[in-house]
Chain A
């Protein structure tokens, strides 16, 4: 039997001819990432407990200030400082200071640091995002990260693969976000537990790299270990002029083994939202339309790249946010912010009455710049809506695409974007 893409990467990285699901392997890491919440403990474990005085390869480590930065209080300033000092003392090549990077999962792909065929780990559960670029990418704990920083290797259990095949093409108004929410609704929050989610099928051909990153980002919401896609023209075009290292893409063999194959007719996927309090509690827009909102958040590593902001701006252009709603727009990287400035998108947001913030995780994890109070209702383009995720446990969070978010901010309630804009918008 042949191997899946995920299996091929783990086999190569562990110096084996082949691996099969369930195997435990010791594998060499191609790239590792930590941020202001995970670098401080990992750095301490690495230096004090493991006795390492340098990182295995400073060229292959990224350290990003994103979760509670710019520092929201004195405690996060202390974490930011430990993170900064660690990066400096270790001579890490890819250190992203406040105002220069943004959210880790947007920054790494954007800077060409995670590439096809590679094995990538990040001390953050949404590190699975990078799999859209045909790498095996997964989230790890701080002790794991300390091990990687010290040695450049880590142990893995080879996951079983789950194959998703998307037929036809997404309909008007329906985005990658709707598709992945729909799939999480089908699978449930642990439907892909421990599994590699392999996304395939002709519908992906029409989904750009940003949309693909949105899809792989949410693999963990179904319990998956990683998500992965093949490297095609869209991937190659994205990497041109960006990739920092030569790379070798991997493909799944025609006779690779899958635990389950799930076929989805993309054409029939409706605009989909997740209802409070679980990303798997999904519903078509008609079922939740009319829900009155207090806050709309367009941000996070899921949905705040330049295309997301463009589509949101198309909706908001010449319109105003409903008087009882606060719309917060947080670009997911400094690059995205710069580009939004060049294209005049920031002006559109400001004129519509939105609050525009610096690139940070911010409101996504109830950190700062938009924390919800008890009983408040929010529509968010992020990836999680478990109780308390964005603030008070009594706040209600719906998850949706940026277009639905922008239209709903104008309407003051959840609305089908066609009711606000008429014609579908594209990036």
Chain B
């Protein structure tokens, strides 16, 4: 993650395009659930269940790249390993027209940035260089020079992101309460 000073989280990388209704079995086929505790291992198989993609996709990803997908991304099971696999592959952020509810919760609880932007999902093309500004709620396509509005991250979600997800966030909040800060 590339944080450029307080109050702003920006991510920059190449776009990988996917369509609508990419389900959790396409993101990480169930047979790899045995690697649940090994994020890198999961990452090697990320997205290989997507028709027409197949094994080897993750090897072409450069750390910091982003996924830009259509609607209902992450539908299917409640498997928490789906966002973990994507993160393990080196993808810095997922931009989609919409997310399935449980995928959305799981990603946020892991502190993994996902951004809803129907405009970017419609316009960004494979290989475009994009910059995602989480707090401003903007996806900039640096290749085409166009800006696409996205749902901005409210301050507390940014805080969740910075602390690395729900577990460390709760730990810190408890600590603050004990010290009478929170």
- The residues of A with any CB-CB pair to B shorter than 8 Å are 22-26, 45, 49-52, 140-141, 143-144, 146-147, 150-151, 155, 157, 190, 193-194, 223, 225
Pick the residue among A45, A144, A151, A194 that contacts B173 (CB under 8 A). Answer: A151
B92 contacts chain A at the CB level, 8 A cutoff: no
Q: Contact: A150 with B170, CB < 8 Å? A: yes
Chain A to chain B: the 6 pairs with minimum beta-carbon distance, closest first: A50-B170, A194-B101, A49-B167, A26-B156, A24-B154, A147-B170
A155 and B72 in contact, given A23-B154, A24-B154, A194-B101 (Cβ under 8 angstroms) = no
Q: Contact: B174 with A151, CB < 8 Å? A: yes
B61 contacts chain A at the CB level, 8 A cutoff: no
State in angstroms the CA–CA spacing of A157 and B171 once bound together: 22
A143 and B109 in contact, given A50-B174, A51-B171, A151-B174 (Cβ under 8 angstroms) = yes
State in angstroms the CA–CA spacing of A194 and B173 once bound together: 28
B135 contacts chain A at the CB level, 8 A cutoff: no
Q: Contact: A141 with B171, CB < 8 Å? A: no
State in angstroms the CA–CA spacing of A143 and B167 once bound together: 8
A136 to chain B, nearest CB (A): 15
Q: Contact: A141 with B105, CB < 8 Å? A: yes
A55 to chain B, nearest CB (A): 12
Which A residues are in CB contact (< 8 Å) with B174? 50-52, 150-151
State in angstroms the CA–CA spacing of A23 and B116 once bound together: 12
B108 contacts chain A at the CB level, 8 A cutoff: yes
Which B residues are in CB contact (< 8 Å) with A150? 170, 174
Which A residues are in CB contact (< 8 Å) with B170? 50, 52, 146-147, 150-151
Q: Contact: B72 with A193, CB < 8 Å? A: yes
Which A residues are in CB contact (< 8 Å) with B78? 141
Report the nearest B residue to A52, measured CB to CB: B174
Which B residues are in CB contact (< 8 Å) with A147? 166, 170
Number of interface residues of B (CB under 8 A): 26
Which B residues are in CB contact (< 8 Å) with A190? 72, 75
State in angstroms the CA–CA spacing of A22 and B116 once bound together: 10
Q: Contact: B156 with A155, CB < 8 Å? A: yes
Which B residues are in CB contact (< 8 Å) with A157? 104
Q: Contact: B171 with A155, CB < 8 Å? A: no
State in angstroms the CA–CA spacing of A215 and B169 once bound together: 36
Report the nearest B residue to A53, measured CB to CB: B174
Q: How many A-B residue pairs have CB under 8 A?
A: 59
Give me 15 other A-B pairs in contact (C-beta within 8 A), A51-B171, A155-B156, A190-B72 excluded: A24-B153, A24-B154, A45-B167, A49-B171, A50-B174, A141-B102, A141-B106, A141-B109, A144-B166, A146-B167, A151-B174, A190-B75, A193-B75, A193-B100, A193-B101
Report the nearest A residue to B154, measured CB to CB: A24
Restricting to B13-63, which residues have a CB under 8 Å from any CB of A? none
Which A residues are in CB contact (< 8 Å) with B153? 24
A50 and B101 in contact, given A22-B151, A143-B109, A151-B174 (Cβ under 8 angstroms) = no
State in angstroms the CA–CA spacing of A358 and B98 once bound together: 43
Report the nearest A residue to B157, measured CB to CB: A24
Report the nearest B residue to A51, measured CB to CB: B171
Report the nearest A residue to B102, measured CB to CB: A141
Which A residues are in CB contact (< 8 Å) with B171? 49-51
B1 to chain A, nearest CB (A): 19
Q: Contact: B72 with A144, CB < 8 Å? A: no
B11 contacts chain A at the CB level, 8 A cutoff: no
State in angstroms the CA–CA spacing of A412 and B174 once bound together: 58
State in angstroms the CA–CA spacing of A155 and B101 once bound together: 13
Pick the residue among A23, A24, A143 that contacts B166 (CB under 8 A). Answer: A143
Restricting to B145-178, which residues have a CB under 8 Å from any CB of A? 151, 153-154, 156-157, 160, 166-167, 170-171, 173-174
B171 to chain A, nearest CB (A): 5
Which B residues are in CB contact (< 8 Å) with A22? 116, 151
State in angstroms the CA–CA spacing of A51 and B178 once bound together: 12
State in angstroms the CA–CA spacing of A35 and B170 once bound together: 22
Report the nearest B residue to A157, measured CB to CB: B104
A21 to chain B, nearest CB (A): 11
State in angstroms the CA–CA spacing of A52 and B72 once bound together: 35
State in angstroms the CA–CA spacing of A144 and B169 once bound together: 12
Interface-centre pick from B105, B151, B160 (highest chain A CB count, 10 A): B105
Report the nearest A residue to B116, measured CB to CB: A22
Which B residues are in CB contact (< 8 Å) with A146? 167, 170
Which A residues are in CB contact (< 8 Å) with B100? 193-194
